[in-house]
Structure 1
Amino acid sequence: MAVGRDAEARVDRAARRHGWTRVARNYNVRGGELDLVYRTGDFLVVVEVRYRSREDYGGAVASVTRSKQRRIILATRHLLAAHPEYADLAVRFDVVGVDDTDTFNWIENAFHVE
């Protein structure tokens, strides 16, 4: 979906303006995908971008269900296994909701590995 890719591109530009180094974009493995992954300081930040034109049903951030979180965690484990150079970094999962007004609702530490 072009609108979703555009939202990811806008979030990517914002993260890189803050000095974050992009590690991966649309990292796909069987069973999961990571929208954007960055290194910043001692963190590997996995960013899930959710675009919603309307705030019905809780909006973009609320759309990251437990099932979606599990798929993101699975893909993150694959990424770390494939790139051991990131193994010593703390992993943080952020969710960014993007709406029609181009407003970001950036939630740091939106969920954790249990």
Structure 2
Amino acid sequence: MSTRDVGTDYEEVAIRHLSQYGLELIAQNYRLNNGEIDVIMRDDDFIIFIEVKYRETTAFADVLEQISAKQLQRVRHAARVWLAKNEISEHTTACRFDIVAITGHPFKIEWLKDAF
């Protein structure tokens, strides 16, 4: 199984988890040449851009510590492009950037709202 397949599997886990809290899926795997968004969901009036991270173990570094500032900039850039392409104003629309960290077997899910 490729790394991309594993990532997609855990994005599905994250989507199922967040759906239990009433979030609705808008898009998955939105990609640009210089950025990507794993999952885009709606929570009432908020559009939420979600970075999903999976690690089998946290022995070497906490999964959240493995997200770089440059990676977060690429997610923000992709979000601005997505909003523009969908004719949604980034200035008048409530948006949030969340992280879903999935670790271990059986896995543990941490949902960090408004993480960056």
TM-score (norm: length of structure 1)? 0.88
1:63 is matched with which residue? 66
Answer yes or no: is 1:38 the counterpart of 2:41.
yes
- Partners of 2:32 and 2:83 lie apart in 1 by 12
Given that 1:26 and 1:34 are in contact with CA atoms closer than 8 Å, whether structure 2 keeps it comes out as: yes
Aligned length: 111
- Structure 2 distance, partners of 1:3, 1:19, is 25
Match of 1:108 in 2: 113
Aligned CA distance change for structure 1 residues 57 and 91 (closer, same or farther; 3 Å): farther
The one of 94, 102, 109 aligned to 2:98? 94
**Which structure 2 segments of 5+ residues have no match?**
none
Q: Matched residues in 2 for 1:43 and 1:62: separation?
A: 26
Aligned equivalents of 2:76, 2:15: Cα separation in 1: 20
**1:9 aligns to what?**
12
Unaligned runs of 5+ in 1: none
Structure 1 residue 57 displacement after superposition: 4.0
User: How big is the alpha-carbon RMSD for the aligned residues of Structure 1 and Structure 2?
Assistant: 1.5
Q: Specify which structure has the higher proportion of helix.
A: 1
TM-score, reference length from structure 2: 0.87
Name the residue aligned to 2:25.
22
